[in-house]
């Protein structure tokens, strides 16, 4: 699973960057609200939204057939919030800031899936390096850029530009819930990164003691498992799939 998710995240993140660098709202978030709600839905933006929404629907359903994790409920909540956010922003035409959120959440997921593949290939040093890179990208993007860039424009600039309206509050509540999940997963990432630095390699997945119907999980030595976190976006971005601890034998990721 991680190979096709890596391919998807790499593709959709590249697509998002190429699309957004041509838009004025990437450089000035106040442009997200100019002319609202009469903003044309560009074909490229429509395609971006539909592909991302389809992917997060697939993650939500595949979670039920994947290895059961301790954070199943939290991850399911994340998928529900993400799908609701994408759908709600599309229906209310809040798609400009939606594209910023999606692209931001996909950035860390690319690195995480690469770390998983390195772990499967038994490239421990590369896997550890990619995980630490992922930890930095995740924390900077989800705890730094997301609140200062995304939440700032939806909580303050949107209110200044358009005043109060019901969709504003629904949209911001969902975005704040996403930020709470970011904080939770960042704690787990920092904990894993600390173990990686102190022990010289990425520690085993804390969830590896969870019973699973997968025989494959039991055949892999726990000392080889990758301790990493993802989201989704998350979502985020996402994530994206955006974020939960996954072992080397895991087949799930905002």
Q: pLDDT per residue over 27-72, tens digit each? A: 999 999 999 999 999 999 999 999 999 999 998 888 877 777 777 7
> Mean pLDDT lowest for which of 31-45, 83-97, 111-125, 240-254?
240-254
For residues 24 and 34, give the distance between their C-alpha atoms in angstroms, rounded to a whole number.
10
> Mean pLDDT lowest for which of 14-23, 83-92, 129-138, 205-214?
205-214
Instruction: List the structure tokens of 246.
Output: 């996954």
The DSSP element (H or E) to which 38 belongs, if any, is: none
**Torsion sign (Cα): 63, 67, 73, 78:** negative
**Res 250 pLDDT > 90:** no
The pTM for the full model equals 0.77
**Which tops the pLDDT comparison, 121 or 246?**
121
Taking only Cα atoms into account, the Rg of the chain, rounded to an integer number of angstroms, comes to 18
pLDDT of residue 200: 61
What residue segments make up the domains of the chain, in order of their start? Answer: 1-22+44-202
What b/e string do you get for 194-211 counting C-beta neighbours within 10 Å, with b at 16 or more? ebbeeeebbbbbbbbeee
Quote the longest CA-to-CA distance of the chain.
58
**Which tops the pLDDT comparison, 208 or 80?**
80
Whether residue 37 is preceded by a cis peptide bond, meaning omega within 30 degrees of 0, is yes
For residues 166 and 96, give the distance between their C-alpha atoms in angstroms, rounded to a whole number.
18
Q: pLDDT per residue over 181-219, tens digit each? A: 999 999 988 988 888 777 765 544 443 332 333 333 333
pLDDT of residue 64: 79
**Which tops the pLDDT comparison, 67 or 3?**
3
For residues 250 and 27, give the distance between their C-alpha atoms in angstroms, rounded to a whole number.
38
Instruction: List the structure tokens of 245.
Output: 């601890």
Q: Hey, how many other C-beta atoms are within 10 angstroms of the C-beta on 41?
A: 11
What does the angle CA 145 – CA 146 – CA 148 come to, to the nearest 5 degrees? Answer: 65
For residues 89 and 178, give the distance between their C-alpha atoms in angstroms, rounded to a whole number.
14
What does the angle CA 62 – CA 65 – CA 69 come to, to the nearest 5 degrees? Answer: 95
pLDDT confidence band for 74 (50 / 70 / 90): confident
pLDDT confidence band for 107 (50 / 70 / 90): very high
């Amino acid at each position: 699973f991680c190979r096709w998710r890596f391919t998807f995240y790499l593709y959709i993140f590249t697509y998002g960057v190429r699309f957004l660098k041509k838009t004025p709202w990437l450089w000035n978030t106040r442009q997200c609200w100019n002319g609202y709600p009469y903003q044309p839905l560009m074909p490229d933006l429509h395609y971006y939204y539909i592909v991302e929404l389809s992917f997060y629907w697939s993650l939500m359903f595949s979670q039920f057939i994947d290895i059961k994790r301790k954070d199943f409920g939290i991850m399911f909540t994340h998928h529900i919030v993400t799908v609701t956010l994408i759908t709600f922003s599309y229906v209310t035409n809040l798609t400009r800031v939606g594209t910023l959120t999606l692209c931001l959440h996909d950035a860390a997921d690319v690195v995480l899936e690469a770390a998983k593949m390195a772990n499967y290939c038994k490239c421990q040093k590369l896997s550890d390096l990619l995980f630490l890179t992922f930890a930095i990208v995740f924390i900077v993007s989800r705890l730094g850029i997301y609140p200062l860039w995304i939440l700032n424009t939806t909580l303050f600039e949107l209110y200044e530009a358009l005043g109060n309206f019901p969709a504003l509050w629904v949209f911001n509540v969902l975005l704040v819930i996403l930020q709470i999940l970011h904080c939770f997963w960042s704690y787990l990432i920092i904990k894993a990164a600390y173990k990686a630095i102190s022990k010289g390699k990425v520690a085993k997945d804390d969830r590896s003691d969870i019973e699973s119907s997968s025989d494959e999980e039991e055949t892999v030595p726990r000392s080889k498992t990758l301790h990493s976190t993802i989201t989704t976006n998350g979502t985020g971005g996402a994530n994206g799939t955006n974020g939960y601890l996954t072992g080397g034998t895991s087949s799930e990721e905002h």
